[in-house]
Amino acid sequence: MTVPSDARSEEKAPAVRLPRPEISATSHVLLDEALLAASPLAEAKRISLAVDVIDLPRLEADPERIFRVLSNLLGNAVKFTPEGGTITLRAASLGDELTITVIDTGPGIAADHLPHVFERYWQARPASQAGAGLGLYIARGIVEAHGGRIWAESSAGGARLIFTLPLTRPAASDSSPSSGGRSEVVERRQTAA
């Protein structure tokens, strides 16, 4: 995976707090776009992508930056999930936050590595996995700039990377379908040729 040019510029700069955008974004569209972008990588490894979304409201976010967070998390999940595994993108509103979780069926993250996964240049296995060690570091900066939190959990059954974002306060006249929720589970699996 190549590092985008704007990621390389962020790599050279010290940690910086990005201004919090005041853009109202449709959360299910952000998730759908990220999943669609990850599909070719997942299909190449015959990894199933599942979506579990419940009551997705609008949120205040910079769509391009949140797409980058989702792309980084999904890309890592594809990288560490073995062929034929499953990655689930789960999202639900809890209180005044949207909680998004990327769950994989890979080997998980060692307990002593968990505190370090969002550090700049950190990699669990630098010799065996390509990457600059910046993806999760950048994701953390973006999530925190949006007023959210990000963390990792792990078990023998795989890793869970979780982040939260504050929700948009609904306007009194907002009756659009996108401001309501939906619940669905979708599974995509490449068939063997």
Total domains present in the chain = 1
For residue 14, is it within any domain?
A: no
Q: How far apart are CA 121 and CA 45, in angstroms?
A: 26
H or E element, residue 69: helix 63-80
Q: Is the pLDDT of residue 167 over 90?
A: no
For residue 104, is it within any domain?
A: yes
Asked if residue 116 lies in contact with residue 135, where contact means CB atoms within 8 angstroms, the answer is: no
Predicted confidence at residue 10, as pLDDT, reads 45
For residue 7, is it within any domain?
A: no
Tell me, what CATH number does 145's domain have? 3.30.565.10
Residue with more model confidence, 74 or 125: 74
For residue 30, is it within any domain?
A: yes
Predicted confidence at residue 116, as pLDDT, reads 87
- pLDDT-derived band at 178 (thresholds 50, 70, 90) equals very low
For residue 70, is it within any domain?
A: yes
Residue 108 belongs to domain spanning: 24-169
Residue with more model confidence, 95 or 159: 159
Q: What is the mean pLDDT of residues 52-79?
A: 90
Q: Which of 54-68, 98-112, 134-148 has the lowest mean pLDDT?
A: 54-68
